[in-house]
Amino acid sequence: MSSTTREERDGYHKRLSSLNHQLIVDSLTLSFGGIRVLEDVSFYVDKCEVFSIIGPNGAGKTSIFNCLSGYYVPQYGSALFEGIELLNLNPSKRAALGMARTFQNIELFKNMTVLDNIMLGRHRFLKSGVFSGGFFWGKTIKEEVDNRLEAEKIIDFLEIESIRKKTVGELPYGLQKRVELGRALAMVPKILLLDEPAAGMNLEETEDIVRFILDINEEFGTTVVLIEHDLRVVMDISKRIMCLDFGKKIAEGAPAEIQSNPKVIEAYFGEQMKN
């Protein structure tokens, strides 16, 4: 991989920014020891688009999200979000720019209520100081009321009013997934990274979560980047799809193009698609 000067890299970033894509990932490369997890992965996502990432288990899909959200630090590459280099920022600053995510394995506080978990997503909007917060007075009270109102709007949107005061650990898996989506929405994201939101769900639960994703995209104007193994979901709601295999991008395009791509069929769809 050839090295570039900082000036050359900055110039390249400016040219990419001028293309007006909301998210531009360029040459993302990640290794753990001698294992190459991602190799020169590049793609872009437009504002208000539903963009899906598919591939076999271990292809590197979640690793992309981990790099974008700041959990992993790639050895090479860049990720521009609305012209700002994400990889130079800590996770809280990435969230402040308007990036939120859900997780493949649910990451909720199981001993807290649904409402309290969603309220945690409002943390970045809290501006009152330690003194005011400690005594719960003045600006802190107004912030609490305002943020609770926003959390209640999300609860209504996701149709989970009846469980708002229940402890998350008591809820069925499908509802926990919905609560995690609500916590991400509480951050008011411009771009939402969804890691297998329909995994482990039955048909009815899957239909519900797909409906919510489409409403989030269409009504809120939120860009959605989706990792999902349920190909019916991917093909139905995606504008474009990227397929990974062994950490490399092997295809990118519209659903019909991906579905008929020989490399994708060999790597991912296999005999299921041939039949």
User: Based on the domain organization, do 8 and 80 belong to the same domain?
Assistant: yes
User: Based on the domain organization, do 246 and 219 belong to the same domain?
Assistant: yes
Instruction: Give residue-wise pLDDT tens across range 157-174.
Output: 999 999 999 999 999 999
Q: At 58, which CATH number? A: 3.40.50.300
Specify whether the CB–CB gap between 245 and 254 falls below 8 A: no
User: What per-residue confidence (pLDDT) applies to 107?
Assistant: 83
In a domain, 152, yes or no: yes
User: Based on the domain organization, do 166 and 196 belong to the same domain?
Assistant: no
In angstroms, how far is the first alpha carbon of the chain from the final one? 40
In a domain, 92, yes or no: yes
Quickly list DSSP for 158-189.
Answer: TT-GGGTTSBGGGS-HHHHHHHHHHHHHTT--
User: What per-residue confidence (pLDDT) applies to 136?
Assistant: 52
Specify whether the CB–CB gap between 173 and 201 falls below 8 A: yes
Whole domain around residue 36: which residue ranges? 1-98+189-275
User: Based on the domain organization, do 126 and 199 belong to the same domain?
Assistant: no
In a domain, 104, yes or no: no
Q: What percent of the chain has pLDDT over 90?
A: 66
User: Based on the domain organization, do 173 and 207 belong to the same domain?
Assistant: no
User: What per-residue confidence (pLDDT) applies to 20?
Assistant: 79
SS3 content of the chain, % helix, strand, coil (to 5): 45, 20, 30
Strands 191-195 and 223-227: parallel
Instruction: Give residue-wise pLDDT tens across range 210-246.
Output: 999 999 999 999 999 999 988 889 999 999 999 999 9
Domain end call among 123, 158, 188: 188
User: Based on the domain organization, do 202 and 66 belong to the same domain?
Assistant: yes
In a domain, 207, yes or no: yes
Domain end call among 166, 188, 210: 188
User: Based on the domain organization, do 1 and 94 belong to the same domain?
Assistant: yes
In a domain, 103, yes or no: no
User: Based on the domain organization, do 91 and 199 belong to the same domain?
Assistant: yes
Domain end call among 188, 209, 233: 188
User: What per-residue confidence (pLDDT) applies to 270?
Assistant: 56
Q: What percent of the chain has pLDDT over 70?
A: 85
User: Based on the domain organization, do 15 and 130 belong to the same domain?
Assistant: no
| Distances 45 to 83, 91, 189, 225 between C-alpha atoms, Å | 13, 20, 15, 8
In a domain, 78, yes or no: yes
pLDDT along the chain (275 residues), means of 10: 47 56 95 92 96 93 96 94 94 93 88 92 69 51 80 94 93 92 94 93 91 95 94 93 94 94 80 44
User: What per-residue confidence (pLDDT) applies to 62?
Assistant: 95
User: Based on the domain organization, do 136 and 176 belong to the same domain?
Assistant: yes
| 3-state class (DSSP) for residue 226 | strand
Residues shown for the chain = 275
Element of type H or E holding 85: strand 84-85
Q: Which pTM was predicted?
A: 0.85
User: Based on the domain organization, do 86 and 209 belong to the same domain?
Assistant: yes
User: What per-residue confidence (pLDDT) applies to 14?
Assistant: 55
Q: How many domains does the chain have?
A: 2
| 3-state class (DSSP) for residue 71 | coil
In a domain, 248, yes or no: yes
User: Based on the domain organization, do 162 and 194 belong to the same domain?
Assistant: no
User: What per-residue confidence (pLDDT) applies to 271?
Assistant: 40
